């Protein structure tokens, strides 16, 4: 039975056929308006047709999922095709006109469905490519441990039997020696008794001889000899020889218990060591695991060498200042290569300058007081156009191209990952805000909008950055907080100043994983560790200079831009 498109795993290697009638070519593209798969030739024909030339045709992997048709239970003739942003329930166009939803904002349910399908496919891909194979690897490891345990225990049993046999042999040897000793004692005692017996035999023979002597004197003719004999001591009866009763040896049973015998044998010892957790290999899916490229791995090694010698200083030192021509203030700083930097002000002026203060180029943008531009690892500048919902790219040869379209979301802030080149964009749409991750080619791969309890994470993601551990750090001015999620989009913590009102603006991180964020009103830069613990703060010199932008250069210096001046100040804060 053939699988439907929704049943085919997103990572399956299946051959997609063009959906045009009688065309059997390989499908490469998809029309989001017609929900129709097509080959390259059919795509060209589709875009040339007067009826469909305005349709949105995208690579197949970037297609919108067709919304399954479902009739409204209240209005059976209407399809459910809208999502109420406030109530978060799907409904039909007729339901949207009822008083229950009066004044509410609505989103095309197909867009939401596409986004959810994309998220589900990402999760399914992670399960198929990482969690399930890793679990199977653990099962194999456990099976190997089972065999190893059985082998070990069989060895212990063999050793115990061999030891018991050796003890038995020792017992036999000792018993034989003791029996031999008993034999010697018996022989000695019997020799003594035999000697005594011989002595008594000799005495009895003596008595018999004495009797015969006496009887010889009983004749009348021997009366004279008898009288002489009786008066003679020679006929006195000798006393009975003394003999002694031998004392036989006594056998004392050995007082041995089972425990005594157990002590003679070896013991089984279970080491008092906490078992080590099995090592789980890290997930390598590019959308969430932030796999570094070769270029980034080299930079990581260089940074790791620097980390060994750096720590947070107890005080900061101003080392230089730059005047930036063409701007009235400094709301965002993007450091480029070859000693060049991009600076923007609250009026949308975006200026490139060198460190000598020479203006190299100037662009009018819709950015304003936001962290809306960043220099990528390749040296390109990318910046948001919130009026047209577009992210532009400027290459080193000053060519400007429209890089990413954000549809009905207004892009506010942007950051280019130093780990893997992904692009993070803070966006808003009426009463909703989110952070979207794109890969280097501009393909959407992750959306971060709500915490584990379904609550909205952001109100105004004005500035955004990424920490060395992959955490996404957002400075939310209206929420008065720095909101941090991990690389999977799970909320880790939100930092708010517990002492005074906190007004976060520009944000960046450094090689040690510190989070540095401007407190606009209180004239300071807060320095946090990567778990959100406050470490120290840098007091900006001058009266009410309103720091609003920060970044760290390759020499680990902190660059600070302010609201009421076009001067950028550079501080040494690590030692």
pLDDT by residue (tens digit) across 158-215? Answer: 989 999 999 899 989 999 999 999 999 999 999 999 999 999 999 999 999 888 877 8
State the sign of the Cα–Cα–Cα–Cα dihedral 107, 110, 112, 115: negative
Contact 55, 33 (CB under 8 A): yes
Residue 4 has pLDDT above 50, yes or no: no
Q: What pLDDT is stored for residue 475 in this prediction?
A: 96
Quickly count: other Cβ atoms within 10 Å of residue 330's Cβ: 28
Residue 300 has pLDDT above 80, yes or no: no
Quickly count: other Cβ atoms within 10 Å of residue 287's Cβ: 21
Q: What pLDDT is stored for residue 12 in this prediction?
A: 42
Q: Which of 86-95, 190-199, 233-242, 298-307 has the lowest mean pLDDT?
A: 298-307
417 φψ region: left (φ > 0), alpha (ψ -120 to 50), beta (else)? beta
Q: Which residues pair with 501 in a beta bridge?
A: none
Calpha distance 241→474 (Å, rounded): 120
- Give the confidence band of 229 by pLDDT, cuts at 50, 70, 90: low
Residue 400 has pLDDT above 70, yes or no: yes
pLDDT by residue (tens digit) across 386-397? Answer: 999 999 999 888
Q: What pLDDT is stored for residue 514 in this prediction?
A: 94
Residue 518 has pLDDT above 80, yes or no: yes
DSSP code of residue 429: E
Contact 412, 428 (CB under 8 A): yes
Q: What is the model's pTM?
A: 0.51
Q: What pLDDT is stored for residue 288 in this prediction?
A: 39
Q: Which residues pair with 560 in a beta bridge?
A: 550, 569
347-351 contact pairs (CB < 8 A, 24+): 350/383, 351/324, 351/325, 351/326, 351/327
CB neighbour list of residue 74: distance below 8 Å, 6 or more residues apart: 92, 94, 95
Calpha distance 133→152 (Å, rounded): 28
Q: Which of 234-238, 333-337, 520-524 has the lowest mean pLDDT?
A: 234-238
Q: What is the mean pLDDT of residues 101-113?
A: 85
Residue 130 has pLDDT above 90, yes or no: no
Most confident stretch, 31-35, 219-223, 264-268, 340-344: 340-344
Contact 534, 488 (CB under 8 A): no
Residue 128 has pLDDT above 60, yes or no: yes
Q: What is the mean pLDDT of residues 115-119?
A: 77
Q: Which of 125-129, 364-368, 527-531, 538-542 has the lowest mean pLDDT?
A: 538-542
Q: What is the mean pLDDT of residues 570-575?
A: 90
Q: What is the mean pLDDT of residues 249-277?
A: 81
Q: What pLDDT is stored for residue 289 in this prediction?
A: 42
Where are any strands of DSSP class E within 51-192?
57-59, 80-84, 89-92, 106-108
Calpha distance 125→285 (Å, rounded): 9
State the sign of the Cα–Cα–Cα–Cα dihedral 275, 279, 280, 286: positive
Q: What is the mean pLDDT of residues 123-133?
A: 83
Calpha distance 412→393 (Å, rounded): 15
Calpha distance 392→403 (Å, rounded): 5
Calpha distance 352→329 (Å, rounded): 14
Q: What pLDDT is stored for residue 3 in this prediction?
A: 41
Q: What is the mean pLDDT of the chain?
A: 85
- Residue 53 sits at the vertex; the CA angle it makes with 52 and 54, to the nearest 5 degrees, is 90
* Unique residue bearing structure tokens 């949308």: 348
Q: Which residues pair with 481 in a beta bridge?
A: 476
Residue 255 dihedral angles phi and psi, to the nearest 5°: -90, 75
Where are any strands of DSSP class E within 10-67?
29-31, 36-38, 57-59
Q: What is the mean pLDDT of residues 241-266?
A: 84
Q: What does the longest C-alpha to C-alpha distance in the chain come to?
A: 183
pLDDT by residue (tens digit) across 424-465? Answer: 999 999 889 999 999 988 999 999 999 888 899 999 999 999
Return the closest-CA partner of residue 392 out of 420, 369, 364, 418: 364
Calpha distance 218→229 (Å, rounded): 11
Question: What does DSSP say about strands 534-539 and 524-528: parallel, antiparallel, or unpaired?
Answer: antiparallel
Domains of the chain plus CATH, in order, are 1-63 (3.30.160), 115-240 (no CATH), 294-574 (2.130.10.10)
Q: What is the mean pLDDT of residues 3-31?
A: 66
Q: What is the mean pLDDT of residues 274-279?
A: 82
Q: Which residues pair with 506 in a beta bridge?
A: none
Residue 58 has pLDDT above 90, yes or no: no
* Unique residue bearing structure tokens 């791969």: 445
* Unique residue bearing structure tokens 């002595």: 199
Structure tokens at 281: 């290999």
Residue 9 has pLDDT above 50, yes or no: no
Calpha distance 414→385 (Å, rounded): 11
């Amino acid at each position: 039975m053939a699988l439907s498109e929704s049943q085919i795993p997103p990572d399956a290697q299946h051959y997609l056929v063009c959906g045009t009638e009688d065309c059997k070519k390989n499908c490469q593209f998809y029309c989001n308006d017609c929900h129709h798969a097509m080959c390259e030739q059919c795509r060209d024909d589709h875009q040339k047709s007067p009826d469909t030339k305005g349709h949105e045709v995208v690579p197949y992997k970037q297609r919108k999922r067709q919304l399954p048709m479902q009739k409204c239970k209240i209005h059976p003739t209407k399809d459910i095709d809208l999502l109420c942003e406030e109530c978060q329930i799907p409904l039909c166009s007729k339901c949207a006109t009822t008083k229950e939803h009066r004044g509410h904002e609505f989103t095309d349910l197909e867009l939401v469905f596409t986004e959810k399908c994309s998220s589900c496919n990402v999760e399914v891909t992670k399960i198929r490519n990482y969690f399930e194979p890793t679990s199977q690897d653990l099962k194999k490891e456990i099976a190997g441990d089972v065999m190893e345990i059985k082998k070990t225990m069989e060895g212990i049993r063999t050793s115990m039997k061999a030891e018991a046999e050796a003890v038995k042999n020792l017992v036999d040897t000792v018993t034989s020696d003791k029996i031999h000793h008993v034999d010697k004692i018996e022989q000695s005692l019997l020799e003594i008794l035999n000697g005594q017996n011989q002595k008594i035999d000799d005495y009895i023979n003596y008595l018999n001889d004495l009797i015969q002597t006496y009887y010889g004197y009983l004749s009348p003719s021997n009366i004279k000899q008898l009288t002489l004999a009786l008066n003679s001591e020679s006929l006195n009866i000798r006393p009975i020889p003394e003999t002694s009763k031998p004392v036989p040896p006594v056998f004392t049973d050995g007082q041995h218990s089972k425990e005594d015998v157990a002590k003679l044998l070896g013991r089984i010892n279970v080491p008092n060591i906490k078992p080590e957790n099995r090592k789980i290999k890290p997930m390598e899916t590019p959308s969430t695991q932030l796999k570094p490229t070769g270029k980034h791995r080299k930079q990581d090694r260089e940074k790791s060498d620097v980390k060994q010698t750096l720590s947070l200083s107890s005080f900061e030192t101003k080392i230089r200042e730059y005047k930036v021509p063409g701007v009235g203030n400094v709301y965002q700083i993007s450091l480029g290569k070859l000693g060049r930097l991009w600076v923007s002000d609250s009026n949308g002026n975006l200026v490139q300058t060198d460190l000598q203060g020479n203006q190299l180029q100037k662009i009018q943008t819709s950015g304003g007081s936001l962290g809306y531009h960043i220099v990528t690892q390749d040296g390109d500048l990318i910046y948001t156009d919130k009026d047209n919902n577009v992210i532009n790219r400027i290459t080193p040869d000053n060519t400007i191209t429209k890089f990413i379209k954000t549809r009905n979301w207004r892009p506010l802030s942007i950051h280019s990952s130093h780990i893997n080149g992904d692009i993070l964009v803070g966006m808003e749409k009426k009463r909703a805000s989110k952070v979207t991750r794109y890969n280097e080619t501009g393909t959407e791969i992750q959306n971060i909008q709500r915490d584990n309890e379904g609550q909205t994470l952001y109100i105004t993601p004005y500035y955004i950055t990424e920490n060395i551990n992959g955490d996404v750090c957002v400075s939310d001015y209206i929420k008065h907080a720095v909101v941090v999620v991990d690389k999977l989009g799970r909320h880790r913590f939100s930092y708010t100043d517990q002492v005074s009102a906190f007004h976060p603006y520009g944000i960046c991180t450094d090689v040690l994983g510190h989070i540095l964020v401007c407190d606009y009103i209180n004239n300071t830069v807060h320095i946090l560790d990567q778990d959100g613990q406050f470490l120290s703060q840098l007091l900006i010199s001058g009266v009410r200079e309103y720091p609003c932008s920060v970044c760290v250069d390759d020499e680990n210096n902190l660059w600070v831009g302010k609201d009421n001046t076009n001067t950028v100040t550079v501080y040494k804060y690590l030692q």
